[in-house]
């Protein structure tokens, strides 16, 4: 291969690589947000949840609770006082913040302590054996 044709091939390779490195991210940016649509929902099997299961939903620590006689609910575990993570006490059926003794009921409403408002509730629906959050 002559020097001139070798440089031509090398230039073509660099050109295609440079074009691809600009075009691909641009097309991804301009395309429909496919991942966002799917990222908004999470599915769990009832058997895997049991009476309660801690999850992470949209980067937020959360918990799914099967309330006796009332069905499932999905709540944020981030306390509305100063942001500590609440725990579910299966014995008392309460959500307890270990930082300043904030107590929430199974609807996420404040029962006592310093939290100023209820826990965030996430949309949840049950389809057969699946629990779908989001
Ligand atoms: S952070 Fe939860 S009660 Fe203070």
On whether the CB atoms of residues 125 and 73 are closer than 8 A, the answer is: no
79 closest CA partner among 52, 112, 127: 112
What top-level class would CATH report for the domain 41-133?
mainly beta
pLDDT for res 21: 76
Top mutation candidate among 61, 114, 119, 120 for ligand 1, by most atoms within 8 Å of CB: 114
Cβ of residue 85 lying under 6 Å from some atom of ligand 1:
no
| pTM recorded for the entire structure | 0.71
On whether the CB atoms of residues 120 and 83 are closer than 8 A, the answer is: no
Cβ of residue 103 lying under 6 Å from some atom of ligand 1:
no
C-alpha dihedral, 15 to 21 to 27 to 28, nearest 10° = 170
Top mutation candidate among 77, 78, 79, 95 for ligand 1, by most atoms within 8 Å of CB: 79
Alpha-carbon distances, residue 124 vs 25, 66, 70, 134 (angstroms): 34, 12, 13, 6
Q: Show pLDDT as tens, one digit a residue, over the chain (134 residues).
A: 787 787 787 778 777 777 777 777 677 777 665 544 456 899 999 999 999 999 999 999 999 999 989 999 999 999 999 999 999 999 999 999 999 999 999 999 999 999 999 999 999 999 999 999 99
3-class SS at 21? helix
pLDDT for res 39: 62
Dihedral (CA of 68, 72, 77, 79) sign? negative
Cβ of residue 134 lying under 6 Å from some atom of ligand 1:
no
On whether the CB atoms of residues 51 and 13 are closer than 8 A, the answer is: no
pLDDT for res 18: 77
Q: Delimit the domains of the chain by residue range.
A: 3-31, 41-133
pLDDT for res 117: 97
Write phi, then psi, for 71 (nearest 5 degrees): 90, -170
């Amino acid at each position: 291969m002559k020097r001139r044709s070798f440089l031509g091939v090398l230039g073509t390779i660099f050109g295609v690589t440079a074009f691809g490195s600009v075009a691909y991210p641009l097309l991804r940016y301009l395309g429909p947000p496919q991942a966002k649509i799917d990222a908004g929902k999470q599915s769990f099997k009832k058997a895997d949840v049991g009476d309660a299961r801690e999850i992470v939903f949209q980067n937020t620590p959360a918990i799914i609770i099967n309330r006796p006689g009332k069905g499932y609910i999905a709540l944020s575990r981030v306390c509305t006082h100063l942001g500590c993570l609440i725990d579910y006490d299966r014995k008392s059926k309460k959500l307890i913040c270990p930082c300043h003794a904030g107590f929430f009921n199974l609807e996420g409403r404040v029962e006592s302590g310093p939290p100023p408002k209820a826990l965030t509730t996430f949309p949840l629906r049950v389809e057969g054996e699946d629990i779908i959050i989001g």
